[in-house]
Amino acid sequence: MPINKITQPFALIIFGASGDLAKLKLFPALYSLAQQNRLPKQYYIVGYARSEKTSKQFEAEFISSIKKVHKVDEKVLNDLLKHLSYVQGQYDKKEDFVRLKTYLKTLTKKTNITKLAYFSVPPIAFKSIIQNLGETKNSSNEDLRLILEKPFGEDTKSAEELFHFVARYFDDDNIYLLDHYLGKPAVKSILSLRHANRILNLMMKGPEIANIQITAFEQVGVQSRAGYFDQVGTIKDMVQSHLLQILALIYLLRLNRLYFLPDKSVPAIEIFSLKYIYFLKN
């Protein structure tokens, strides 16, 4: 069995399936999973967006975005397409979510499988989707999980407001906050460096290193995302999430007294690292 094969059946509902993130990242990532034989026997990929399009048109977009990234094995792709469908609907209309729910019930043959709602929409649409999903949820037994792409609000106040809003409908355990930048191999390898390379590990804690520079090297331009960058801004898009996360990960390599922290999870250590940097600066 391939490493990390998903064995549990699931239905992935991609809100904003007509958008940039879906085409640039999510569809090619789904193909990668299929190609590596990491998907279970029973799964469904449901694109949801306001744009009027037929399932065939959606399928054509899905294929074209995958082909831009991957050299495609037609058999793998054709098999993946059997699991794909499209539902057109608004984000702020409860009746559209009732229709989506009925559709999912028929599709999944009434089995209570895990449903993953992926928020590939601008943050302005988050609350409507959360509320409509929450209000049309069957019961507390329904396994419905939310995957929210960063940014989570625009500042501390709006982020807290958003978290309180989600908490009205969903338990913390069912909410996944995702910053896909952290899935990049170069970023992922920062943590393993601490454990895998003893020499570097020791040096990181000592006085040998005068400064550490983090370079954000982007080849992709603004493209069709002018609206997003106009609203969010490049500093908030890159610095407050991606680069601060990397800074925290790198800085925690320099800390060697973590044993006193009650919570040793990576997010808790990252927060500690950032507070510690602030403390040193002041």
Q: Under the criterion CB under 6 A, does residue 132 sit at the interface with ligand NAP? A: no
Residues 6 or more apart from 67 whose CB is under 8 A from it? none
Under the binding rule (CB under 6 A), the answer on residue 13 touching ligand NAP is no
What would the two tokens of residue 245 be?
A: 């996360």
User: Structure tokens of 257?
Assistant: 């007294």
Q: Catalytic pick from 164, 180, 195, 242?
A: 242
Nearest-10 crossing angle of helices 55-69, 27-35: 70
What's the CA angle centered on 181, arms 176 and 185, to 5 degrees?
Answer: 110
Q: How far is the CB of 130 from ligand NAP (least distance, A)?
A: 13
Question: Which of 16, 43, 46, 269 is in the footprint of ligand NAP by CB under 6 A?
Answer: 16
Beta bridge partners of 176: 147
- Using an 8 Å Cβ cutoff, are 119 and 131 in contact? no
Smallest gap from Cβ 228 to ligand NAP, in A, equals: 5
Is 20 an interacting residue with respect to ligand NAP (CB under 6 A)?
yes
* 164 is annotated as an active-site residue: no
The stretch near ligand NAP (CB under 6 A) out of 58-66, 71-79, 96-104, 147-155 is 147-155
Which residue from 228, 250, 269, 270 is in contact with ligand NAP, where contact means CB under 6 A?
A: 228
Position 127 contacts ligand NAP (CB under 6 A): no
Q: Does 19 bind ligand NAP (CB under 6 A)?
A: yes
C-alpha 226/C-alpha 92 separation (Å) is 24
Residue 96 binds ligand NAP (CB under 6 A): no
The CA–CA distances, whole Å, from 83 to 40, 55, 77, 117, 140 equal 11, 12, 10, 16, 27
Rounded least distance, CB 20 to ligand NAP, Å: 4
3-class DSSP assignment, residue 120: coil
Question: Among all residues, which ones are annotated catalytic?
Answer: 242
Enumerate binding residues for ligand NAP (CB under 6 A).
16, 18-22, 24, 49-51, 91, 120-125, 149-151, 225, 227-228
